[in-house]
Chain A
Amino acid sequence: MSAADANAGGRPSRPAPLPVLKPGGPRSRRAHAARPAPLPSPGVVESAGHSALNIAEVVGGMGLLAGRIFARVFTLRFDGEEFFRNLHRMGVRSAPIVIVTALVTGAITVVQAAPVVERLGAYGLLGWGASFASLREIAPLLTALMINGRVGANNTAELGTMVVTEQLDALRVLAIDPIKFLIAPRFLAMVLTLFLSTLFADALALLGAAYAGYALLGVEPASFYIGLTGGLLGFNDVAVGLFKSVVFGIVMGLASCQFGLAVKGGAPGVGKAVNSTVVATAAGIFVLDFFVAFTFH
């Protein structure tokens, strides 16, 4: 229906059409002009700096939290009932996972050492080799990773939910110190859980290794036991493993409490915090594993 069509019949033509505006009229043109330009995407240096600042924030937060927790733990000013409740929930409820992991760990150590043992014919040394690897390295590490996955993640999720639903603020309003009431008992429970679970897992890993050696290589459990107690292993090896587990427990406790307390943003925020806890604790475990092994030959 253009102006030309209207003119064909000789009737008076319509006025020339106005210049075409952007859809929506003059107001939207002003709005289009006023909309800010999109931010440029961050470059390499900027995102590296951003990551470094994030890491510094997390580590600094963990340090401050550690100071506050230790102040209450060493003066024994924390809630005993919460401590025992968490010890039951974290320690006793994790026992099945620790059992399965430890037995499997022992079996894995033997399966990995099997080609080397068969190549060198050193069946008598299987007891020593498998148990050395298990006690010093693999049992503390895998137990810490599994318990981190269960206890650390769960703790962050709980603390995060409490933050998101404003229960921590309610505690502060009631003049209850949240660190004394919630955080310090959980931290101590996590450290103690990991220590006891590693002790338990050590024993089970040796059992798993003994029976895997019998099943795969035909090494009698008796000679496995002789290899264990023959004199190449000492209490030192067990002690290093247990010291590692305490260090891992401290890292796990601090990381999970810190990420739980710093949650923002509802359900997706809680999910992200759990993800960050698990990753940060795993990385911290590997790094500290190296430093402890380096310090204690």
Chain B
Amino acid sequence: MQAREQILKAHEDPEGSGPESVDHELRTVLPERHGVELVGAVALDLLNTGRELYSVFVRTLYYCVNGRTEQGAILAQMYAIGNRSIFFITVSMGFIGMILVRQGGLQLERILPEYSLVGATFLELLVRDFSASIGSLLLATRVGAGIAAEIGSMVVTEQIDALRMCAADPIDYLVKPRFLASIIMTTCLAIWSTGVAYLAGMVTAYVSFDIAPRTFANISLVDSGDLVVGLSKCVAYGAAIPIVASHSGLMTYGGSEGVGWATTRAVINASLAVIILNVTLSTIGFLIFK
């Protein structure tokens, strides 16, 4: 309201300096949303983003079945997603394994110092949840940022438009290989990080609490339900991360600052997607496989 009056006044003013002042007013005033309008705008934004994500996801699935195959594209993406992340994932999951066992052991010491099931419980937690979820959070930051930065730069330098002019759908050419590669690599990296975290936990248990490795290495508590839940989480996260990141990358606008924004949005949305899928799948798994 205020903005509009200011602009009208500048326009009517007979002693105003003409077009420059009106332009200046138009540039500097952008109405801020408050209250109900803000809530409505946020909700509509969320709905639109949800619709666009659904569209990207469905089109990716369509091109998985009906698309053109490019020689070696999926393998190249598997290298970029999996092999390039392995050092980062190994270091982080190793430290997580050490922290979890140490904290758990300290708390157990306070209640009842009976250490025979520590290894078994730890493995069950890892398989069921932690290696998939924490590994995917790390991958969401690394892979999500990488995909969004790459695709965002391609949008800004008009390569996506060039692709469309060559009658190649960007989703077929860019998103589909990353989608398939990510599902495979997330599963592989989750299995690898289970092993790494378990070994790190075994070393910590031996050093801090004198639990013999043979007592720690106990797989009796891991059942088929845990395995199913863990693997379905891997597949879900591996599917979600490239879809969300590619969507953010394809919606880039505005030059190098836009690429930065796209990368930020990709990391946040991918992390949120992993966390929300985690809660959903954990709850469903808990209710089904009691």
Contact = CB atoms under 8 A, between A and B. Distances in A.
Interface of A: 97, 100-101, 104-105, 107-108, 111-112, 114-116, 118, 125, 129, 132-133, 136-137, 142, 145-146, 148-150, 153-154, 156-158, 160-161, 164-165, 216, 232, 266-272, 274-275, 278-279, 282-283, 286-287, 289-290, 293-294, 297
A279 B141 contact: yes
5 contacts: A112-B129, A112-B282, A157-B257, A287-B95, A293-B102
B99 A270 contact: no
Interface string B86-110: 0010011001101110110011001
A271 B279 contact: no
Contacts of B146: 275
B279 A287 contact: no
Contact of B267 (A104, A153, A268, A297): A153
Q: Interface residues of B: mostly helix, strand, loop or mixed?
A: helix
Nearest to B89: A283
B153 to A, nearest CB: 4
B153 A271 contact: yes
Interface stretch (B55-63, B175-183, B258-266): B258-266
B264 A153 contact: yes
Contact of A283 (B91, B149, B278): B91
Contact of A278 (B125, B145, B152, B256): B145
Interface stretch (B11-19, B234-242, B268-276): B268-276
B156 interface: yes
Interface residues of B, number: 53
Contacts of A268: 149, 153, 259
B206 interface: no
A104 B264 CA distance: 21
Given A154-B264, A160-B256, A164-B256, A146 B276 contact: no
Given A160-B260, A271-B259, A278 B150 contact: no
Contacts of B257: 157-158, 161, 270
Given A104-B275, A133-B103, A270-B260, 9 more contacts: A101-B275, A108-B282, A142-B137, A146-B272, A164-B256, A232-B110, A267-B259, A290-B99, A297-B106
A149 B213 CA distance: 37
A137 B110 contact: no
A268 B263 CA distance: 11
A278 B91 CA distance: 15
B44 to A, nearest CB: 16
B102 to A, nearest CB: 6
Contacts of B98: 290
A114 B91 contact: no
Given A108-B278, A142-B275, A153-B263, A286 B96 contact: yes
A279 B255 contact: no
B286 A286 contact: no
Given A112-B128, A112-B282, A271-B153, A286 B95 contact: yes
Nearest to A290: B95
Given A142-B275, A290-B99, A154 B261 contact: yes
Contacts of B129: 108, 112
Contacts of A132: 107
B156 to A, nearest CB: 5
B219 to A, nearest CB: 16
B121 A271 contact: no
Contacts of A157: 257, 259-261, 263-264
A29 B247 CA distance: 49
B165 to A, nearest CB: 21
B286 A266 contact: no
B102 A274 contact: no
Nearest to A148: B141
Contacts of A125: 111
A117 to B, nearest CB: 11
